[in-house]
């Protein structure tokens, strides 16, 4: 069988190519893709050529093999219908989610797909971002009635801010883009422009700073700002992946004397101390983030819109 698959062939250049699809074995399903979500984080770094070409695509997703050396396939958010199923798999016609690169037809182990009956297809492609936000909020730990700043109000930043707020934190979000601030406000998040965040934090904490700043910007400059906003013994939690970008930080006297901490967070593993008590279920107005969709044939335009930071673009899905 043949399928159309997206390939990253050079920085800021993608192509649709023909590939062979292996026939499904008894424990597999054959999936016809209807929607495929584009990540504005790692995937955008891959599109721009801002990742180490020797780095493995992913060590936890079997469908992502090889490295970021061109050409390569990437993507991890496909939603489609089962065309053929083994005895133990979901029935034919079932709507499913799968971690798989952008491709209109693919074979996957039945155990690796998740049923998404009754869920809007574009919304379902946002599930990996919800998982990331949940991971960040768990890594942040209990923050009941504590002031928390979230820098960067893309989909992951908005979802993280919403989860932290629902768990009891007093969240303030910041982003230079008005459209992103407006979307975050619809989630019930207090927001300010980046240029106002220093004054806002100083006013709300009487100059003491906040105990936690979550950096979801993807911009190296934001991490320096995060350190500036922290209180004594505060923590900057970094969910941004900077790729090959140069990151320079002010780690002089103020950093040491205030005993600040910089910590990373990574999706796919729930903290060991919480693994027996949490799963990835949540309820959020996620549809607000599903702002744009384009036909698979216009994938190049979809990536360009995300890369250019077009106004109003929060999340883009390819439609098959």
Please write the tens of the pLDDT for every residue from 235-277.
Answer: 999 998 888 788 888 888 889 999 999 999 876 555 554 544 4
Per-residue tokens: 155? 């989909």
Per-residue tokens: 276? 């027996």
The residue-averaged pLDDT of 220-233 equals 95
Length reported for the chain: 320
Please write the tens of the pLDDT for every residue from 52-107.
Answer: 999 999 888 889 999 999 999 999 999 999 999 976 778 899 999 999 999 999 99
Please write the tens of the pLDDT for every residue from 112-136.
Answer: 999 999 999 999 999 999 999 999 9
Res 267: pLDDT: 66
Mean pLDDT over the full length of the chain: 92
Contact present, 138 and 204 (Cβ < 8 Å):
no
The residue-averaged pLDDT of 26-51 equals 95
Res 277: pLDDT: 45
Distance between CA atoms of residues 173 and 255, nearest Å:
23
Beta pairing partners, 37 = 317
Distance between CA atoms of residues 111 and 11, nearest Å:
34
Res 271: pLDDT: 52
Asked if the model's pLDDT at residue 198 lies above 50, the reply is: yes
**CB under 8 Å to 116, separation ≥6 — which residues?**
79, 95, 96, 97, 124, 127
Q: Supply the pTM of this predicted model.
A: 0.90
Per-residue tokens: 53? 């070409």
Res 278: pLDDT: 44
Q: How far, in Å, are 14, 42, 72, 246 from residue 47 at the CA level? A: 8, 9, 10, 18
């Amino acid at each position: 069988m043949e399928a159309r698959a997206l390939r990253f062939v050079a920085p800021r250049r993608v192509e649709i190519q023909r590939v062979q699809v292996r026939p499904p074995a008894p424990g597999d399903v054959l999936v016809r893709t209807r929607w495929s979500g584009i990540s504005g984080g790692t995937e955008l770094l891959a599109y721009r050529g801002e990742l180490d070409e020797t780095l493995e695509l992913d060590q936890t997703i079997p469908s992502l093999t090889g490295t970021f050396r061109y050409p390569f396939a990437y993507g991890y958010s496909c939603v489609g219908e089962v065309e053929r199923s083994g005895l133990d798999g979901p029935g034919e016609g079932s709507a499913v989610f799968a971690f798989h690169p952008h491709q209109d037809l693919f074979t996957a182990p039945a155990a690796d797909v998740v049923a998404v009956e009754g869920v809007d297809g574009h919304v379902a492609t946002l599930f990996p971002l919800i998982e990331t936000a949940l991971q960040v909020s768990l890594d942040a730990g209990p923050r009941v009635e504590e002031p928390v700043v979230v820098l960067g109000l893309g989909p992951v930043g908005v979802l993280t801010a919403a989860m932290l707020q629902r768990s009891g934190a007093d969240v303030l979000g910041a982003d230079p883009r008005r459209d992103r601030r407006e979307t975050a406000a619809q989630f019930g998040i207090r927001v300010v422009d980046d240029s106002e965040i220093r004054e806002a934090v100083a006013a709300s904490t009487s100059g003491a700073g906040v105990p936690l700043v979550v950096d979801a910007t993807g911009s190296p400059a934001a991490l320096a700002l995060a350190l500036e906003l922290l209180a004594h013994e505060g923590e900057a939690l970094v969910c941004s992946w900077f790729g090959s970008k140069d990151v320079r930080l002010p780690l002089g006297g103020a950093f040491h004397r205030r005993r600040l901490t910089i910590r990373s967070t990574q999706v796919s593993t729930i903290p060991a101390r919480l693994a027996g008590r949490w799963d990835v279920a949540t309820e959020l107005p996620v549809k607000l983030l599903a702002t744009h969709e384009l036909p698979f044939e216009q994938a190049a335009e979809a990536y360009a819109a995300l890369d250019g930071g077009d106004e109003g673009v929060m999340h883009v899905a390819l439609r098959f």
